[in-house]
Amino acid sequence: MVIFSIRRFNPEKDRAPYYKDYEMNVPEGATVLDCLNLIKWTQDGTLTHRMSCRSAICGSCAVKVNGHPKLACKTQAVDEIINGRMKIEPLGNAKVLKDLVVDLEPFFSKFQKVKPWLVTDEIPPTPTLIKGDEGGFKERRQSSEDFHRIDAASTCIMCASCCSDCNSWASNENFLGPAALAKAQRFVDDSRDKVALERVINLSKADGIWDCTHCGECVERCPTEVKPMDRIVSLRTTALKMGIANNNGARHVEGFVDSIRSSGRLNENIIPVKSMGIFNIPGLLSLIPVGIRMFLRGKNPPIIHKHIDDMDDVKRIFKRFGKQKG
């Protein structure tokens, strides 16, 4: 006998969300979705949740199980029972419409912003039903090696699990989010697309690739191994290779690299200045209040660093690594 503690909320009736407990015997081999269905069908028909394919393909049944998002149809219930209980809640970072159903419109709107379609200057031939006709429609083909670069991102089922626990999304609702950025990488690195530079320029603006905080939650929560943070890192690398560095994120990376290369250590006094841009007077002035608060609390790094052994070795290794990457 397992107690399912399910977060309930009907905005038409309830003033605030609450938890309701349901007891049931978990059938052998049942998934979390099977249990939700049994509760709805046999105990409480008012319970509302999403489902469709039941095959971990559509992504519609994603909910939080014991605090973190999972696909209900893919998750074995027996693996989630803790001391005879299981907590089920709606996805995070989203408005709850009713019970376990959230508003995914903001999530899907982010995809439109990254233009998730191929842009090409080629006009496909007129389709024909005549077999062997050279004027017939032909696919835009690519090599296995080229496809491998976009393979991971192409497995995204848009379940929103990655965004549910995304710390950047939680603090900035305008952030494109790990799912949309992973989708963007799929087209930036597609050998058939013709506007990679334009895409990367747009992705390098505010709320894009440099606003990810590397918390890693998206990698942990993705049910299909897309590894969105890896896709974001790939986009950042592409942006730097293309020379798109007129932003705080890119300047931070370059400042970090220059500091290690020149001194063998990170100079935390210089990094904020380089990240903001030495000619960005308003930006530099905005750092002053932060610097004062750090000083008053004793958090500012020392102006003269203590000597660290083997710093020359760090510079040597970094230099060799740089040559290999080049």
Residues 189 and 302 in one domain: no
In this prediction, residue 226 carries a pLDDT of 96
Give the whole-angstrom CA distance, residue 56 versus residue 141: 28
Give the whole-angstrom CA distance, residue 97 versus residue 102: 5
Is there a domain that residue 135 lies in?
Answer: no
Residues 75 and 39 in one domain: yes
What is the pTM for the complete model shown? 0.84
Is there a domain that residue 137 lies in?
Answer: no
Between the two ends of the chain, the Cα-to-Cα distance in Å is 61
Residues 125-149: pLDDT tens digits?
555 555 555 555 567 788 999 999 9
In this prediction, residue 286 carries a pLDDT of 84
Residues 254 and 296 in one domain: yes
Is there a domain that residue 179 lies in?
Answer: yes
Instruction: For helices 311-325 and 248-263, give the axis angle rounded to 10 degrees.
Output: 130
Structure tokens that stand for 119 in this block: 């842009």
Question: How many Cβ atoms sit within 10 Å of the Cβ of residue 41?
Answer: 10
In this prediction, residue 144 carries a pLDDT of 94
Residue 47 pLDDT more than 60? yes
Residues 216 and 262 in one domain: no
Give the CA count within 13 Å in the CB-facing half-sphere of 151: 8
Residues 293 and 234 in one domain: no
Give the domain-ending residue among 185, 219, 241. 241
Is there a domain that residue 120 lies in?
Answer: yes
Q: Do residues 246 and 266 make contact, with C-beta atoms less than 8 angstroms apart?
A: no
In which domain, by residue range, is 61 found? 2-102
Return the percentage of the chain with pLDDT > 70, whole number. 93
Q: Categorize the per-residue pLDDT at 326 as very low, low, confident or very high, splitting at 50, 70 and 90.
A: very low
- Amino acid identity, position 73: C
Total tally of structural domains belonging to the chain? 3
Buried (b) or exposed (e) across 96-127, using 16+ Cβ within 10 A?
bbbbbbbebebbeebbebbbeeeeeeeeeeee
- Of 2, 72, 69, the residue nearest 37 (C-alpha): 72
Residues 118 and 234 in one domain: yes
Give the whole-angstrom CA distance, residue 322 versus residue 207: 29
Is there a domain that residue 133 lies in?
Answer: no
Residues 26 and 79 in one domain: yes
The average pLDDT across 40-45 equals: 97
Residue 119, H or E segment: none
Residue 121 pLDDT more than 80? no
Residues 204 and 218 in one domain: yes
Return the percentage of the chain with pLDDT > 90, whole number. 67
Cβ-proximal residues to 242 (8 Å cutoff; 6+ apart), any chain: 197, 200
Q: What is the CATH number of the domain that holds 204?
A: 1.10.1060.10
Cβ-proximal residues to 100 (8 Å cutoff; 6+ apart), any chain: 6, 7, 36, 47, 48, 49, 50, 63, 88, 89, 90
Residues 307 and 214 in one domain: no
Q: Do residues 110 and 177 make contact, with C-beta atoms less than 8 angstroms apart?
A: yes
Residues 229-243: pLDDT tens digits?
999 999 999 999 999
Handedness of CA 218, 176, 202, 151 (dihedral sign): positive
The average pLDDT across 156-168 equals: 96
Residue 187, H or E segment: helix 178-188
The average pLDDT across 315-324 equals: 73
Residues 231 and 116 in one domain: yes
Residues 225 and 257 in one domain: no
Residues 234 and 275 in one domain: no
Is there a domain that residue 131 lies in?
Answer: no
Q: Which of the pair, 251 or 203, is modelled with greater confidence?
A: 203
In this prediction, residue 126 carries a pLDDT of 57
Q: Categorize the per-residue pLDDT at 269 as very low, low, confident or very high, splitting at 50, 70 and 90.
A: confident
Residues 282-310: pLDDT tens digits?
878 888 888 888 888 888 887 777 777 77
Q: What is the CATH number of the domain that holds 26?
A: 3.10.20.30
Is there a domain that residue 283 lies in?
Answer: yes
- Of 180, 218, 4, 14, the residue nearest 97 (C-alpha): 14
Question: How many Cβ atoms sit within 10 Å of the Cβ of residue 67?
Answer: 9
Residues 57-92: pLDDT tens digits?
999 999 999 999 999 999 999 999 999 999 999 999
Q: Do residues 98 and 48 make contact, with C-beta atoms less than 8 angstroms apart?
A: yes
Give the whole-angstrom CA distance, residue 247 versus residue 198: 16
Give the whole-angstrom CA distance, residue 255 versus residue 274: 6
Give the whole-angstrom CA distance, residue 59 versus residue 86: 21
Give the whole-angstrom CA distance, residue 232 versus residue 227: 9
